[in-house]
Chains A and B, each alone.
Chain A
Amino acid sequence: DSGVTQTPKHLITATGQRVTLRCSPRSGDLSVYWYQQSLDQGLQFLIQYYNGEERAKGNILERFSAQQFPDLHSELNLSSLELGDSALYFCASSVGISLEQYFGPGTRLTVT
């Protein structure tokens, strides 16, 4: 157990819908990262927050957004869902920047 929690574990929804994925980092970690793992794109970095502020962005679609709250948990919002958004979404956390990242169990999203 890495200490990073993610909910829900599984999510099945229809095209055009909106979902929210939640992540709680390890106790004491200030950085939260979101990654997407799909069959055709592999594991890709989406976005990073550090102590409530957005710090880095990767290949995140405009339909996706995220935030980190004062208690340091983070949410990833995915809207206008398409079939191609089906993937495993991971959250990771670390104490600081460029330090060891620990991954949560992931949320498996299926868009039908």
Chain B
Amino acid sequence: GIQVEQSPPDLILQEGANSTLRCNFSDSVNNLQWFHQNPWGQLINLFYIPSGTKQNGRLSATTVATERYSLLYISSSQTTDSGVYFCAVYNTDKLIFGTGTRLQVFP
């Protein structure tokens, strides 16, 4: 089946720093989503992005479907950005999740 790999697995930042999270997938996909799982366990939609670039405030995402990767950029990080970031790809009807990047932002 399709494999989804995320890097880095862990990231520690000081408030105000920028970061780039990467998601590689092993086969063609119909679509891709990025999520933030907050410390309370809630999965929050960040981006639904089959290709191209989208921006939402301090976050932006780029998917290059032909090269099978997606990037999530976080600028001027805040402590509230802490949690786990997942990318998930659509394979037929279901989402296949990566193993996540755990982000800790310190003041």
Contact = CB atoms under 8 A, between A and B. Distances in A.
B66 interface: no
Contacts of B86: 43
Given A42-B97, A48-B94, A90 B30 contact: no
B41 A102 contact: no
B105 interface: no
Contacts of A88: 41
Main secondary structure of the interface of A (DSSP, over half): strand
Interface stretch (A17-25, A62-70, A72-80, A93-101): A93-101
B93 A97 contact: yes
B41 A106 contact: yes
A44 B86 CA distance: 12
- Of residues B92, B95, B100, which shows the largest number of chain A Cβ atoms within 10 Å of its Cβ? B95
A106 B38 CA distance: 12
B31 A45 contact: no
Interface stretch (B42-50, B53-61, B75-83): B42-50
